[in-house]
Amino acid sequence: MIFKTEGFAELNDQLIQLAQGFRTDLVMRNTAVKAAKRAMVPVENDVKVNAPYDEDNTGPIHLRDTVRLDSRIPNARDRNSIMVSQSDVVIGVVSVKKSAVSLSQEFGNATTAAQPYLRVSLERNRDEVVRILGEELGTLIPAYAKKLAKRKV
């Protein structure tokens, strides 16, 4: 899946200026990380609705009950993934508990056809994710800049 984005050079410049004299990781956590998490909520909701559900399973946990949303500054383990580039400053992740069941549902196996729900949810909501990300950054960056300006005085 390929996303085309524009304006991120200007965003990068704004974040660098904002971080002058402050810890960059805190600036990122209070702006980009929050924005990415809020932007991924439609994907999280879509996964919860569309994750395969076995009505015959009487166990206490179903796949949809393990859906998790996270947003963070990429760590060393994240950077080892082919999905994360060295220039990524924040990642948003919607996941489910890793198990043989969740993997075979998403990708299939020798006896079960794939029933993708994670990738499909992201594809279905990608335009909404980008729209929300832009709106959130447009709100969070000025608000955080104002807060930091008060601290400098």
Domain ranges, ordered by start, for the chain: 8-52+61-152
Report the C-alpha gap between 143 and 128 in whole angstroms.
Answer: 23
* Helix, strand or coil, per DSSP, at residue 116: coil
User: Which pLDDT score, from 0 to 100, does residue 102 have?
Assistant: 84
Residue 49 has pLDDT above 60, yes or no: yes
pLDDT for the residue 2: 47
User: What integer pLDDT is reported at residue 83 of this predicted model?
Assistant: 87
> What pLDDT does 136 receive?
93
List Cβ neighbours of 115 (8 Å cut-off, separation of 6 or more): 52, 105, 106, 108
Most confident listed range (6-10, 49-53, 71-75): 71-75
135 contacts: CB under 8 Å, gap ≥ 6: none
**Whole-angstrom Cα distance, residue 99 to residue 146?**
45
Provide the sign of the torsion angle of the four alpha carbons 138, 124, 61, 96, taken in this order.
negative
Is the pLDDT assigned to residue 1 strictly greater than 60?
A: no
Give 131's pLDDT tier (boundaries 50, 70, 90). very high
What percentage of the chain carries pLDDT values higher than 90? 37
**pLDDT given for residue 7 in this prediction:** 59
